[in-house]
């Protein structure tokens, strides 16, 4: 644990918080929360008083971010011990601060489109002041006459976007210590919000166990863009949302995990669609060549993402082939 992290824990306790966790890192170096003692199902693991929570209006991340920027730039912020532990520019990765040179290695037109023309464009437009009417606080109001580079702005937007909880209606909340909780899709620990923000154990935890919550049922392309990592737990990996049969760019329609059912023509159409995606994806990767290692974390994340996307497509293609073979009996359906 760093000195700043210890200072954060001491400050939270001095402010009335209750902690049965400490801050540590896993084998891959990812920082997270770990229990300091056994915790029984239903017991509070972390309790944070409301007065050290920073809540901003629940609007698009880039429009809410000046409030965080203002705190970061204020030398006497009441949240200083918390702000000092926020990751620096190299410690947070989202679509907002995704490095330009790595955009093409997403190797997917829909992902590249969203990253460039939704996330990055939005960050840029807010930085240029085009969305000031939508903002409670503008960037100049947050930092006065100082300047901020686009890179610095993308970093702040990424921090806000990847660390807030929706625990209060109409607000996005940055909760000291609790924003150090990592994601595990299988988790059942619960966040509650009353006079304190509490994390309650969904199962018995041993001392020294990592405490996680689920950030939601996101697919790997969404996790990559919103949080800069991919799910390494789910096997076989789930299809990327851009590969799902019901995916429509910029439409938030629910994407079911139920296997496609229907007559053989429907299954064959889906099989051909997925095979087409896989072929186009492999051709794109071949055309791009090796991913440069300029930023090793981004390069390695992309390699993991490609591997998971490929395996998800193979798994679904295999499942459909089997289903069609089953439907045609022992005669062997033309696939
Ligand atoms: C709310 S923060 C959690 C604390 C963060 N690890 C830290 O040190 O500040 C969310 C970020 O944690 C990381 N993260 C969370 N869950 C992860 C996981 N399962 N695998 C890898 N990184 C994860 C990602 O960088 C993500 O954007």
Question: Ligand 1 pocket, 188 CB below 6 A?
Answer: no
- The answer to whether position 334 is within a domain reads no
Tell which of 187, 213, 239 closes a domain: 213
Atom of ligand 1 nearest to the CA of 28: 21
Please tell me whether residue 204 adopts helix, strand or coil conformation.
coil
Q: Is 291 helix (H, G, I), strand (E, B) or coil?
A: coil
Contact criterion met (CB below 8 Å) for 165 and 172: yes
Instruction: Determine, yes or no, domain membership for 169.
Output: yes
Burial of 177 (0-12, 13-18, 19+ CB in 10 A): buried
Mean per-residue pLDDT, 253-269: 91
What is the spatial distance between Cα 59 and Cα 44, in angstroms, rounded to a whole number?
A: 30
Residue 199 lies in a domain: yes
Instruction: Tell which atom from ligand 1 comes closest to the C-alpha of 31.
Output: 8
Claim to verify: residue 319 and residue 250 sit in the same structural domain: yes
Domain boundary among the residues 213, 231, 256 is at: 213
224 and 206 within one domain: no
The answer to whether the CB of 215 is under 6 A from ligand 1 is no
Residues 193 and 252 in one domain: no
Which pLDDT band, with edges at 50, 70 and 90, does 329 fall under?
low
What is the rounded CA–CA span in Å between residue 335 and residue 325?
A: 8
Shared domain check, 224 and 209: no
**What's the pLDDT band for 274 if we cut at 50, 70, 90?**
very high
Whole domain around residue 144: which residue ranges?
A: 3-93+130-213
- Of 125, 150, 145, which Cα lies nearest the Cα of 135? 125
Task: State whether 166 and 300 are in the same domain.
Answer: no
32 in ligand 1 pocket by Cβ < 6 Å?
yes
Q: State the average pLDDT over residues 238-261.
A: 93
CATH of the domain at 187: 3.90.1410.10
Ligand 1 pocket member 182 (CB < 6 A): yes
Q: Among residues 181, 213, 245, which one ends one of the domains?
A: 213
Per residue in 104-139, pLDDT (tens digit) is: 999 999 999 999 999 999 999 999 999 898 899 999
For a ligand 1 pocket test, name from 155, 222, 227, 295 the mutation site with the most ligand atoms within 8 angstroms of its C-beta: 227
Cite the DSSP H helix spans in the chain.
3-14, 61-73, 80-83, 109-114, 121-127, 139-143, 150-163, 220-227, 264-288, 296-327
Q: Residue 103: inside a domain, yes or no?
A: no
Q: What is the best residue among 183, 189, 217, 231 to mutate for testing ligand 1's pocket, by most ligand atoms within 8 Å of CB?
A: 183
Asked whether the predicted pLDDT for residue 92 surpasses 90, the reply is yes
In a domain, 241, yes or no: yes
Per 3-state DSSP, the chain is made up of helix, strand and coil in percentages (nearest 5) of 45, 15, 40
The pLDDT-based confidence of 90 (bands split at 50, 70, 90) is: very high
Claim to verify: residue 70 and residue 182 sit in the same structural domain: yes
- Angle among Cα 76, 90, 223 to the nearest 5 degrees reads 105
136 and 276 within one domain: no
If we measure between CA atoms, which residue out of 218, 282, 284, 223 comes closest to residue 254? 218
205 and 282 together in one domain: no
Task: Summarize pLDDT for 33-74 with one digit per residue, the tens.
Answer: 999 999 999 999 999 999 999 999 888 888 899 999 999 999
Confidence check on the interface: ipTM exceeds 0.95, yes or no:
yes
Distance CA 40, CA 30 (A): 25
325, 186: one domain: no
What residues does 197 pair with on adjacent strands? 48, 193
Number of domains observed in the structure of the chain = 2
- From the alpha carbon of 180, which atom of ligand 1 is closest? 4
Tell me, yes or no, whether 250 lies in a domain.
Answer: yes
Asked if residue 105 belongs to a domain, the reply is: no
Section 147-167 average pLDDT: 95
**Cα of 117 to ligand 1 centre, how many Å?**
25
For residue 87, the model assigns a pLDDT of: 97
Sequence-distant (≥ 6) Cβ neighbours of residue 80 within 8 angstroms = none
Question: In terms of domains, do 175 and 314 share one?
Answer: no
- Whether residue 309 is found in the same domain as residue 291: yes
Q: Is residue 187 domain-shared with residue 308, that is, in the same domain?
A: no
161 alpha carbon – ligand 1 mean position (Å) = 12
């Amino acid at each position: 644990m760093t000195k700043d992290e210890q200072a954060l824990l001491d400050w939270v306790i001095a402010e009335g918080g209750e902690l049965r966790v400490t801050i540590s890192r896993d084998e891959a170096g990812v920082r997270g929360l770990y229990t300091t003692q056994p915790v029984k199902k239903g017991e509070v693991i972390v309790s944070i008083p409301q007065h050290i929570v920073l809540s901003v209006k629940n609007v698009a991340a880039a429009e809410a971010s000046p409030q965080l920027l203002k705190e970061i730039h204020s030398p006497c912020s009441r949240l200083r011990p918390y702000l000092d532990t926020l990751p620096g520019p190299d410690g947070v990765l989202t679509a907002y601060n995704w490095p330009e040179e790595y955009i093409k290695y997403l190797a997917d037109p829909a992902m590249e489109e969203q990253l460039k023309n939704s996330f990055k464009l939005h960050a840029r437009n807010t930085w240029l002041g085009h969305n000031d009417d939508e903002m409670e606080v503008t960037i100049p109001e947050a930092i006065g006459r100082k300047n901020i580079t686009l890179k610095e702005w993308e970093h702040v937007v990424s921090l806000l976007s990847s660390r807030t909880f929706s625990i209060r209606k109409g607000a996005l909340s940055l909760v000291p210590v609790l924003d150090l909780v990592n994601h595990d899709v299988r988790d059942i620990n619960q966040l509650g919000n009353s006079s304190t923000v509490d994390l309650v154990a969904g199962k018995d935890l041993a001392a020294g166990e990592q405490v996680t919550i689920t950030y939601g049922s996101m697919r790997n392309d969404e996790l990559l863009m919103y949080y800069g990592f991919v799910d390494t737990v789910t096997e076989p990996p789930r299809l990327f949302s851009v590969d799902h049969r019901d995916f429509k760019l910029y439409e938030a329609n629910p994407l079911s995990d139920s296997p496609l059912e229907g007559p053989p023509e429907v299954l064959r159409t889906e099989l051909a669609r997925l095979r087409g995606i896989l072929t186009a994806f492999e051709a794109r990767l071949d055309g791009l060549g090796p991913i440069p290692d300029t930023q090793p974390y981004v390069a390695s994340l992309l390699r993991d993402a490609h591997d998971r996307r490929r395996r998800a497509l193979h798994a679904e293609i295999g499942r459909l082939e089997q289903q069609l073979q089953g439907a045609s009996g022992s005669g062997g359906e033309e696939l």
